[in-house]
Structure 1
């Protein structure tokens, strides 16, 4: 049954990736792949709404087979997965990046910065990576340049879709609250980590704004969207969507924002949800 013709009139499923659609080991189950294919066949638009930049979406394409449009970098990038093409992007400009970094470092002396450009990444020498920053190549086999290491003035000299601020010893939630007071309305700030790593984007840019942009281009209203997430960066999307769920392993902020709670990501919660939507 097509969900658009069923009583719920749902036309889009918006799902986060890490911790939500993906299992804890980063894999996608056979059940989830089958559910995504069935949803696509039924006319349900699937949107991956993620903090990941475009270069980290190729592996998801390979494991899920999904070739639609993703909302990446917490709403800053609208990315065509099939064509590997950035359709729209919202940037923080160098003067704003420099000002934010200056004020955050004054408030948090141990903070280290990195810049996410969308198709590239740069970081200060003291910014310690917690995972591989770049895949070695894109889906066409073309090498992806390694991340740049440079001084703050160098890495913030070009527009960025995200400024990353890391204080490894800080509590993630406390760091977010305190940094939000410093940043004010000059930028959007969130986190999706278990440690002190903030993701800072252009003012007003969130997963909700990026999803609204995508939905609007398809003539889909918030009431026709089901959203699923697990972390604070999902909260705006979960609040905005007409129907929203947190997975059982979600951060308390996501649980509070969602309308209901599903099973965990390791229990294929998104696949179970899709199956229930298609069953009508």
Structure 2
């Protein structure tokens, strides 16, 4: 038996496993997973551990990077709206937005004239209405071009999530507007970046899908560890036996009680595996 048998480690991708923020802001190339992170994850998996990616990205925005990440468990994509088996190339579970989301999202766009939105079709197509600077930055880091539509009503179903893009101050107003609606309880509404406000169906969270993955793998909650840097990671960081956060994390993550480790420029996952290595000695 390996020392990490029965242990699950799930990690966010952007600005946790690797730093993509610099590439988004400057137009530089997205870096590869560092050698130390890669070797640490290989060591963890060789010892029987299961490693899963848990990203806010939809499958279309992550699939081009999948072969650059050593992993041996299905991955959480679309901020918990889906669980995807990369070996079999198929979705295992999905929690999708209902038809009314397009109308409600379009009403939000009409209320905020500078707002852009990306809509994530489950079949690997990303549509956008009124793409702006932040949409273009996001295209750069995901290596996926959006398909422009005149209205959210023209975007085909089914959708895993929609994501509003604008300056943070505007998105705070958008969030307040969404949360004031009588249907707000049907959704999860959270930031994945200061310029990205995400909407998924109620129950579609990283924490919820990590729990489902652990159950599928037969791994108890007391041996599940998660890593992330943003507000969309809070659900899994607080559900796990221990949550880890890179030093570059946002204040809300730091305040949730996560264990702070090396930042995304200094091998976050290698630091975490080193700590697990001592825990399971």
Q: TM-score range by the shorter chain?
A: 0.7 to 0.9
Most deviating of 241-250 and 92-101: 92-101
Structure 2 unaligned residues grouped into runs of 5+ = 21-29
* Alignment counterpart, residue 129 of structure 1, candidates 120, 124, 136: 136
Q: CA deviation at 1:172?
A: 5.3
Does structure 2 retain, via aligned residues, the 8 Å contact 1:115–1:155? no
For 1:265, what is the secondary structure of its paired residue? coil
Q: CA deviation at 1:135?
A: 4.1
* Alignment counterpart, residue 112 of structure 2, candidates 108, 114, 129: 108
- Deviant stretches of 4+, over 6 Å: none
Structure 1 unaligned residues grouped into runs of 5+ = 137-145
Indicate how the Cα distance of structure 1 residues 124 and 56 shifts in structure 2: closer, same or farther if over 3 A, else same.
closer
The 5 Å alignment of 1:179-218 reads: 179-182=178-181, 184-195=184-195, 197-218=196-217
Q: Distance in 1 between matches of 2:251 and 2:269?
A: 19
Q: CA deviation at 1:49?
A: 0.5
Q: CA deviation at 1:167?
A: 2.5
Aligned to 1:246: 245
The 5 Å alignment of 1:1-280 reads: 2-4=2-4, 11-24=7-20, 25-102=30-107, 104-105=108-109, 108-118=112-122, 119-127=124-132, 128-132=135-139, 135=143, 147-168=146-167, 170=169, 175-177=174-176, 179-182=178-181, 184-195=184-195, 197-279=196-278, 280=281
Does structure 1 retain, via aligned residues, the 8 Å contact 2:254–2:260? yes
Does structure 1 retain, via aligned residues, the 8 Å contact 2:45–2:72? no
For 1:87, what is the secondary structure of its paired residue? strand
Q: CA deviation at 1:23?
A: 3.1
Most deviating of 153-162 and 268-277: 153-162
Aligned to 1:143: none
Does structure 1 retain, via aligned residues, the 8 Å contact 2:9–2:52? yes
Q: Could you give the per-residue CA deviations for residues 102-134 of structure 1, whole angstroms, max 9, x where no partner exists?
A: 2x3465343222211131111114444223276
Indicate how the Cα distance of structure 1 residues 155 and 262 shifts in structure 2: closer, same or farther if over 3 A, else same.
farther
TM-score normalised by the chain length of structure 1: 0.84
Does structure 2 retain, via aligned residues, the 8 Å contact 1:165–1:198? yes
For 2:265, what is the secondary structure of its paired residue? helix
Q: CA deviation at 1:66?
A: 2.5
TM-score normalised by the chain length of structure 2: 0.84
Q: CA deviation at 1:153?
A: 4.4
Does structure 1 retain, via aligned residues, the 8 Å contact 2:129–2:152? no
